[in-house]
Every structure is written in C-alpha cells, then in structure tokens.
Chain A
Amino acid sequence: MENTLREKAKELLSSGEVGVVIGYGWNRKKTRTTPVFITTPEETDKLIFNELCVNNLSVYLTRKYRDIKKLGRPAIVAKGCDIKNIAVLISEGQLKREDLHIIGMTCEGVVYKQELWQGSLKPEIMPVKCHNCDVRNPHITDTVIGEKSDFVPPEEPTGMVFDKIKAIDAMEPSEKWAFWMEQFKRCVKCYACRQFCSLCYCEKCIAEKNTPQWIETSAHERGNLSWNLIRAQHLAGRCTFCGECERACPVNIPLNLINQKLVLTVKDSFGYRSGYDPEEHPPMIVFDPEDKEDFIK
C-alpha cells in the first residue's frame, strides 16, 4: 500500500501535475506519524500510511496555510473521513475540485490517539467515527490506494459518544447547563480546537474581533461559554465529526458530544449530512422558498 502510494506521488510530482503532496510521514524516532509536505520525487519515500495516520490533513488546504498554497497544486493523502471535510471546503468555495488531486486511502480504522498504540489496532482504541464509518472506501477521489473494504457500518450508530448524547438528552435543562458549565470551566481558550479544524478557516476569527468584542478573551467562564457556543454554532450543519478538535483539546472538553449532537440535529431537521456532496451548500444558511418553516417565506 505504501509502495503504491509512493509510486503515485512520484508520478504526480515528476509529471508536474502537482507541486506538493500533503501526506503522512514518521517522526524522527518512528513512534508517531506527522504531516509531511513532499515537493520532489526523491522525497516520496518519506510517505507512509498506517493505523497511526489519524490526523485530518485537509486543514492544510485552507486559506489558513497560504505558504502551502504557494508550493503549487496540491495532492493530498486522505482517508474517507478527511475527504468529507474536503467536500465541505469545496461546497463553501474554499477549493475548486479541479485544483486538487485526492489520493484516497482505503482504511480499516485508525487509532484514536497515537499514544494509545501498542502494536495492534483493537476496537477499544479506535474513535467512534471508525466504528460507524461508511467511507472506508473513500467517496471522492482521483486515485484510490489500498484494498477494498467490506466493512458495513451498523444501522444504528454505536459508541460512547451516542450513549452519552442520549444520557445528556435525558437530563433536565438545569442539569445540562451545570454539566456543560463544568466542562467549559476548564477551557483556557488556547483555540487548539479552531486551529486543527479544517472548517474553521476564517483568516480573522470572530474571537479576534474587538469592535465589538463578541468573546471575552480572558479565561473567564463567560468568555469560555461564548467561545464554545459560537464555535458550535459556526460548525452546525458543516461539521463532519472528524474529531480533530477533541483530540487537540489539552483540557479534554468533550467537544465530540457537541459536534455529533449537531450532526444528528441537522440530519433530523434538514435531512442533510455534510461531507458527501461537494455541490450542496450546508443547509443551515440557505434561503429556500421550499423551507418547511413558514416564517421564512
């Protein structure tokens, strides 16, 4: 699989079809994977793909990374789940499909956090998204690498996140409030969740706006609440549940609970799942005369 990947990357770079291949490589001690940006055919041997390749590299396609854009037309090594984010980026005009070569990797799941790796991929160390994955055979690609996966996701999504959501749904509003205030209390507003998210691509984030200042910047509970609520609202209908924000959070705020709840709500209300159709704009923000709510007409 890796050899095919390297060959393909070599071919793309030598032919000049792309200027950079965004993919995974080893760190120096070969204990963890890290993003690599390959610009010459000679370097392609650095590319790898395995169960540790959890990072969603689509963030490097956004306007946040202008310097990578300068390297030329990109090819990206992407799992199905990463491709979902690419689809949203295309639907929101951040990318043109033809300006990108997607090397889709078939995938049998990755490890939730690289620290958990002990030589084999057990279900316990896989994130919830992998257990319910319907894109193990990547859905939007220019090249597919790897053997076809026969995995069929369970009809009812399973995993801790879904159980927790049910538990929170059953709570009284006051209990919900207390639960989330307790979680957000830990937030230090490092904005790691934002930096890792490929859909948080604004060059100037609302958190940085000061006339007026929408979000208090100190690590006060009020500002913490504003930030986390606004972040959630800005991802409603767009988030693909890739899980990078929660993985990045240094204080373990269960952001996946919020994100997955939003995914479920949008699916219920709009019949829309983000990341599947690069032609369709996320529905929360579309004026539609056919809208089922009357007030909009």
Chain B
Amino acid sequence: MPRIGVFVCQCGNNIESTVDTQKVADELKEMPGVAYTCSYKFMCSSPGQEMFKNAIKDNDLDGVIVSACSPHMHEKTFRKASEAAGLNPYKCEVANIREQCSWVHHDETKKVGTVKSLDLTRMMLERLKRNKPLKATSIPVTKKALVIGGGISGIQAALDIADGGVEVVLVEREPSIGGNMARLSETFPTMDCSQCILTPKMVEADLHENIKILTYAEVEKVDGYIGNFTITINKKAKYVDESTCTGCGECWEKCPFKADSEFELGLNKRKVIYTPFPQSVPNIPVIDAPKCPKIQKDKCGLCAKVCGPGSIDFTQKDEIVTEHVGAIIVATGFELMPNEHFGEYGYGKIKDVVSGLQFERLASSSGPTGGKIERPSDGKTPESIVFIQCAGSRDEAKGVSYCSKICCMYTAKHTMLYKHKVHEGKSYVFYMDIRAGGKRYEEFVRKAIEDDGAMYLRGRVSRVYEKNGKIMVQGVDTLSNGQQVEIEADMVVLATALISRKGADSFAQKLGIGYDKDKFYSEYHPKLKPVETVTAGIYLSGTCVGPMDIPESVSMGSAAASKALGLFSSDKMAREPITADVNKTTCNACWDCVTACPYTAIAKTEVKDREGNIVQMLAEVNVGLCQGCGVCVAACRSKSIDLAGYTDEQVYAAINAF
C-alpha cells in the first residue's frame, strides 16, 4: 500500500472562502493509500514548506499531493521541497483547486467548491499512485556557438559570446559582414555616422580569437539538438585564397569588367572581382563567377597576373564544412519590399524614384556620390524631394498588414540630411501617422519639422508621374479638408516596407523553428521568451523576428548571447524527464509519430541481427530533442508510445477516479 500525503492549502482566504479545506483533508484521509492529510493556511510559505518536509519524513510518505494553486505557480517549489525531504520530485503532484475551482465558484456555502476540490484531489491521487520516480536526464553540451547572419545583431551576439570565453562561428552569406547597417549614412536619433560606429565592431569580431568568420557561406543543413548540433555549411568559391590574400586591392583596380553593385543597390557599378565596400571585413575580394570571362570563357585572367602573392585561383570549388556547436543564434535580418511592387509610384519607370535605403547610399559619404544628394537620372541636385511613408507597410493589398516601425524615423532623418546638405531644398513627407515611440524619437521628428522645415502632409499618394523633367506627385492632404495636392518634385523617396528575407520560411524549416504569416520567425513567447524558439538551443536575434531599429537589434543580439552563455555555463545540461518513450515490442514502424513530431525528435532506427541484416525497423525518441508535447502519443494507433510522467495509465486512472 502506498503512503501518500495530501496537503490542502487554504491560500489565505483565496481557497478557503469557497472550499472547506478541512473537509477535503478529512475525506481524503479515508481513501486507500492515504497516510496523512492536513489543511494549512499558506503551503508555499516558509513555515508551510517546513511543515511539508517534516510531514514527509515523520510519516514516511512515498508520494505527496499539494491541493493548491496552478502547478504553473508552485509545482517547482514543492518538487524541490519533496526532493529535500528525500522524495523523488516526480512523486509530488499539484492538484489545482484555486484557478480551476475556488476562483470560479462563488458559492459561499462552500458546497460546490468542496465537492469539486475533492474530485480534483481524488483524481490526482489515483494518478499519483501510478507515478514512477523519474530522473532528470543530462546531455553533454558542446561549448561552441553558431551565429547565422553577420549584420549588427549577429555581430553583437558573436562578440558577447566570444567575450564570455566561448568559440563562435559567424556565418555570413555576403562577401563581407556588416549587413544592412553598413549601407546607412547617419543613424537616428543621435545622427552618428553608421559606418563609424559599425566598422570598429566588425574589425573587433574579425580580430577576436574566439570568433571564426565564414563569409560568402550559407548554412545548408542543421542536424542534432540542443547542446549537440551538427551544421553543414556551404562555403561558396571565392576564387581567392584567403590565407595568402593581403587585400591590397591591385586585382579590383585592374579588373576591366564591371557589374551592378549589390551593396550600392544598383546606384553604382563594382568590378567583377570585388569587395562590397572599402571597409569590408574580411578585406578579401571574391570573383563574381557568372560575370567573369576567365571563369566562363577562359579569357582575361588579368587579376591573377597582377596579384603579388598569387592568391587568385580560378579552379576553386564550393567547399562543404561541418561544425559542431551547442547553440545557434539566428540573425538573418530583413529585406526591403521589392521595387516592382510600386507601379503606382513610378518605381522602375521613373529613375528618380528611389527607396529609403538607396537614399541612404546617396547621403552616405562613402556612397556613389560621395555624400552629395544628386538625382540618379542626371546628377542634378534636387530642389525638392517628396518622401512617401508606408510604401507597402500597413497595406493589406500589398500583403503587409504590419507597421515597418523604422520608416517614420528614418524619413525624418532623411529630411534633415537633405536640409543639411542642400540648404535651399524643400522636403515634403506624405504620412499616415507618425510613430516615434522611443527614447528621444519624438523630439527628433519635431526637430525635422520645426527646425529643418520638413513639410508633413497627412495623406496618401495616389499617383506619381513625369512631366517636363519633373516628377509630379498627386495626393491628398486629409488635414485640410481632404484637399487634393499636386507637388512638383525632383526626386521621390519611398519608405518601402521591411519584409522577411526571401526563403526565410524554408530556412526556418531547415532549423525546425516556427514563423508567422509574414514569414518572420516566431519567439517561444512574444513577451516572456522573446529570444527563444520552440526548438531548444536555437535563439533569435534582430530583424528576422520583425521590423526593429538598431538599438533593439543590438539588445536582442546581447540577449540571445546571454541565453547561449547560460547554456554553456556547465558541461552537461539537465533535461526534464518528461519525454516520450517507444514500446519496442509493439511498434509497427508506420512512422506516424515521425511525421507528427514538430521537433523532429523521432527517428527511424534499424534493428540488426549479428550478421548485420536489418530485422526490424523501429521508431526511437531522441530525448535531447523531445519536448514532451505528447503529439506522438496521440498519433500512435497501436498505443506504443507513452509520455513519462503522463502515461496513458496515469491519465486514465485520473479520469476513472472522477
């Protein structure tokens, strides 16, 4: 006969007002297998817990039920106390008679509440009788992190982890780290130069002894689980030997072929052997193979001739490298909504309609115009510029229902930059609302309007067209009785929507993490676990989660890094033993569980005889990956899977006790 103790908590008056806790304790005392019961004012208080521990020892209890609040509140507390009293923590269960009973019944005669509390506790009693002592499993942790994406958020995460003494592999798709921030001119609201604050961080990452940067590389495959990931990375051929190249620049000086620069967003040309921008990290060029005549047709080869150390290697191939890491930080960033989406704003047809990011390049001192605001069509200084906010954002018709968050701020910044560079220039801003929530943000926008004279017009633009070398912008000003306005401009800047990266969804599937309807990655909990994902050991950082500005991206990088460092703080990691287990004798290998598992925690394994012939196939749960959700248990037709701590037998017994 088991010796079970039942502790009924009064929770001050929270439970006691509608539940006769003494009666619950008294009636439970008569149940078979119950050795001790009591009712107590506050079980979670220090004296309450002392009493709890003593009662376990004094009465030689082998299982305990605390009938109190939701297990979400104090299950951990009481399991810890049980452990301290020498009991297996999984022999302690909490019956919820507060949230699910006393709080929802207002019967002051205590009739309903008492009967229901009795039922709930009795159900838990039958369940507890079938509890097996469970032991937390521990899995080894590989102390190395992978950061995917070398933008500011990824760089920050990598630096923080590396400073914590852990090795980091930073994978970047482009030839240089830096991401979108490298493209910006000045940054709001402090107006410090983007590159001046970013490049020192890039160099720091490059020189850090704990950071290994793989540029021009993409993550192909992710296997394994928290603490033990195996990453397959494709290092695309650069056609340049990274170990000998000095970055002298002779090759791209001499290269006679040009192509549109991705970094300059088509506003300028680059060579076919190139680094994206002068401060690139690493400062090693790559050859744009499809455009290189030497690689395509075996003509030219000038770069190899001028290269002092002989680093150019036209025969280089893509290389697959494997890395073993314990944690992954996803910082893959954002894209701007493609330009062709804005037919009504003349994008693509009218050369002087540009995106916000293109304007950043025009305003940047390292940009194609050296920081002079010039029209892309003829190089003239524009006398007036129209800025159109919410180009795509908050527009269901364009498929983006959300606010891109940063555009209000950068548009205000653009008007300032324009005013500072072209004193006579006139800027007009069409906006829906001004969203300037953030430290010093509102003041910043006010300054643009009041000090720098930007003309803000609340309304939408209906049409943009060309007339006599000018760009005509037709719109409505809703604050002056919906008056139609037409503005003659030299340039139009669209604050295009921030969207998730192309292929973000398929990449999420590779990682086994969730994403929302806009293909931004989903946090485990949007408020309380903002950097975790549903897959343990994979953390999120930066704009792959949604639109955010630089300070937020950087904080998130640090937050993700602290999560990873927490994981790396010990050699082994304890895992809850609430995991699924396959009954090998009845498994039919139909793989329903394999397809049903959201965590890819179930594998198809082969059972071999001594000669190595496969005699049977079986499903097997990887406890490192299993989150104990129980989907496989429900899916299994032959009932060959059980969840430790929540076995069918336990659940059934609880239901039958009702």
Name A residues whose Cβ lies closer than 8 Å to a Cβ of B: 63, 92-94, 201-206, 209, 211-212, 214, 234, 281, 285-287, 289, 296-297
Q: How far is the CB of B183 from chain A (nearest CB, A)?
A: 31
CB of B20 closer than 8 Å to a CB of A? no
Max chain A Cβ within 10 angstroms of own Cβ: one of B505, B516, B596 = B596
Interface pair B588/A201, CB less than 8 Å apart:
yes
Given contacts A63-B588, A93-B590, 16 further A-B contacts (CB under 8 A): A93-B589, A93-B604, A202-B586, A202-B637, A204-B586, A205-B638, A212-B648, A212-B652, A212-B653, A281-B591, A285-B596, A285-B635, A287-B598, A287-B631, A289-B505, A289-B508
| CB-defined contacts of A289 to chain B, threshold 8 Å | 505, 508-509, 514-515
Q: How far is the CB of A198 from chain B (nearest CB, A)?
A: 13
- Residues 281-301 of B contacting A (Cβ, < 8 Å): none
**Given B508, B522, B592, B653, which contacts A92 in the complex, CB threshold below 8 Å?**
B592
**Given B508, B588, B595, which contacts A287 in the complex, CB threshold below 8 Å?**
B595
Interface pair A285/B592, CB less than 8 Å apart:
yes
Interface pair A206/B639, CB less than 8 Å apart:
yes
CB of B597 closer than 8 Å to a CB of A? yes
CB of B649 closer than 8 Å to a CB of A? yes
| CB-defined contacts of A92 to chain B, threshold 8 Å | 590-592
Q: How far is the CA of A281 from the CA of B594 in the complex (A)?
A: 10
6 A-B pairs closest in CB distance? A212-B652, A202-B638, A204-B586, A92-B590, A286-B595, A287-B598
Q: With contacts A212-B648, A287-B631 known, is A206 near B638, CB below 8 A? A: yes
- Residues 489-522 of B contacting A (Cβ, < 8 Å): 505, 508-509, 514-516, 522
Q: With contacts A93-B591, A287-B595, A289-B509 known, is A297 near B638, CB below 8 A? A: no
Max chain A Cβ within 10 angstroms of own Cβ: one of B508, B516, B638 = B638
Q: With contacts A285-B596, A287-B596, A289-B514 known, is A94 near B590, CB below 8 A? A: yes
Q: How far is the CA of A149 from the CA of B596 in the complex (A)?
A: 39
Name B residues whose Cβ lies closer than 8 Å to a Cβ of A: 505, 508-509, 514-516, 522, 585-586, 588-592, 595-598, 604, 617, 631, 635, 637-640, 648-649, 652-653
In the complex formed, the residue of B with least CB distance to A214 is: B639
| CB-defined contacts of A203 to chain B, threshold 8 Å | 586, 588, 638
| Subset of 30 A-B contacts with CB under 8 Å | A92-B591, A93-B590, A93-B617, A94-B588, A94-B589, A201-B588, A202-B588, A202-B638, A203-B638, A204-B586, A204-B638, A204-B640, A209-B639, A211-B649, A212-B648, A212-B649, A214-B639, A234-B637, A285-B635, A286-B595, A286-B596, A287-B595, A287-B596, A287-B631, A289-B505, A289-B508, A289-B509, A289-B514, A289-B515, A296-B598
| CB-defined contacts of A93 to chain B, threshold 8 Å | 589-591, 604, 617
Q: How far is the CB of A30 from chain B (nearest CB, A)?
A: 38
Interface pair B595/A285, CB less than 8 Å apart:
yes
Q: How far is the CB of B180 from chain A (nearest CB, A)?
A: 26
| CB-defined contacts of B649 to chain A, threshold 8 Å | 211-212
| CB-defined contacts of B595 to chain A, threshold 8 Å | 281, 285-287
| CB-defined contacts of A202 to chain B, threshold 8 Å | 586, 588, 637-638
Q: How far is the CA of A211 from the CA of B648 in the complex (A)?
A: 8
Give the interface SS of chain A, mostly helix, strand, loop or mixed: loop
| CB-defined contacts of B514 to chain A, threshold 8 Å | 289, 297
| CB-defined contacts of A287 to chain B, threshold 8 Å | 595-598, 631
In the complex formed, the residue of A with least CB distance to B517 is: A294
In the complex formed, the residue of B with least CB distance to A202 is: B638
Q: How far is the CA of A205 from the CA of B638 in the complex (A)?
A: 5
Q: How far is the CB of A230 from chain B (nearest CB, A)?
A: 9
In the complex formed, the residue of B with least CB distance to A294 is: B517
Q: With contacts A203-B638, A204-B586 known, is A297 near B508, CB below 8 A? A: no
| CB-defined contacts of B586 to chain A, threshold 8 Å | 202-204
Q: How far is the CB of B550 from chain A (nearest CB, A)?
A: 29
In the complex formed, the residue of A with least CB distance to B508 is: A289
| CB-defined contacts of B508 to chain A, threshold 8 Å | 289
Max chain B Cβ within 10 angstroms of own Cβ: one of A202, A203, A214, A285 = A285
Q: How far is the CB of B488 from chain A (nearest CB, A)?
A: 47
Q: How far is the CA of A264 from the CA of B23 in the complex (A)?
A: 54
Q: How far is the CA of A205 from the CA of B636 in the complex (A)?
A: 11
In the complex formed, the residue of B with least CB distance to A211 is: B649
Q: How far is the CA of A279 from the CA of B113 in the complex (A)?
A: 54
Q: How far is the CB of B606 from chain A (nearest CB, A)?
A: 12
Q: How far is the CA of A170 from the CA of B635 in the complex (A)?
A: 31
| CB-defined contacts of B522 to chain A, threshold 8 Å | 297
In the complex formed, the residue of B with least CB distance to A235 is: B637
Q: How far is the CA of A293 from the CA of B640 in the complex (A)?
A: 27
Q: How far is the CA of A217 from the CA of B91 in the complex (A)?
A: 33
Q: How far is the CB of B546 from chain A (nearest CB, A)?
A: 15
Q: How far is the CB of B129 from chain A (nearest CB, A)?
A: 13
Q: How far is the CA of A211 from the CA of B649 in the complex (A)?
A: 6
| CB-defined contacts of B591 to chain A, threshold 8 Å | 92-93, 281
Interface pair B505/A297, CB less than 8 Å apart:
no
Q: How far is the CA of A281 from the CA of B597 in the complex (A)?
A: 13
Interface pair B637/A206, CB less than 8 Å apart:
yes
| CB-defined contacts of B617 to chain A, threshold 8 Å | 93
In the complex formed, the residue of B with least CB distance to A286 is: B595
Q: How far is the CB of A62 from chain B (nearest CB, A)?
A: 9
| CB-defined contacts of A63 to chain B, threshold 8 Å | 588
In the complex formed, the residue of B with least CB distance to A88 is: B590
| CB-defined contacts of A296 to chain B, threshold 8 Å | 598
Q: How far is the CA of A94 from the CA of B637 in the complex (A)?
A: 14
Q: How far is the CA of A201 from the CA of B514 in the complex (A)?
A: 34
Q: How far is the CB of A200 from chain B (nearest CB, A)?
A: 9
| CB-defined contacts of B640 to chain A, threshold 8 Å | 204
In the complex formed, the residue of B with least CB distance to A213 is: B652
Q: How far is the CB of B582 from chain A (nearest CB, A)?
A: 13
Q: How far is the CA of A159 from the CA of B131 in the complex (A)?
A: 53
| CB-defined contacts of B653 to chain A, threshold 8 Å | 212
Q: How far is the CB of A43 from chain B (nearest CB, A)?
A: 29
Q: How far is the CA of A193 from the CA of B409 in the complex (A)?
A: 69
Q: How far is the CA of A42 from the CA of B631 in the complex (A)?
A: 52
Q: With contacts A203-B588, A206-B639 known, is A297 near B516, CB below 8 A? A: yes
Q: How far is the CA of A93 from the CA of B602 in the complex (A)?
A: 15
Q: How far is the CA of A16 from the CA of B95 in the complex (A)?
A: 65
| CB-defined contacts of A297 to chain B, threshold 8 Å | 514-516, 522
Q: How far is the CA of A297 from the CA of B517 in the complex (A)?
A: 10
Q: How far is the CB of B635 from chain A (nearest CB, A)?
A: 5
Q: How far is the CA of A211 from the CA of B640 in the complex (A)?
A: 12
Q: How far is the CB of B563 from chain A (nearest CB, A)?
A: 22
In the complex formed, the residue of A with least CB distance to B634 is: A285
Q: How far is the CA of A74 from the CA of B582 in the complex (A)?
A: 30
Q: How far is the CB of A292 from chain B (nearest CB, A)?
A: 11
| CB-defined contacts of A214 to chain B, threshold 8 Å | 639
Q: How far is the CA of A201 from the CA of B653 in the complex (A)?
A: 28
In the complex formed, the residue of A with least CB distance to B652 is: A212
Q: How far is the CA of A297 from the CA of B631 in the complex (A)?
A: 13
In the complex formed, the residue of A with least CB distance to B516 is: A297
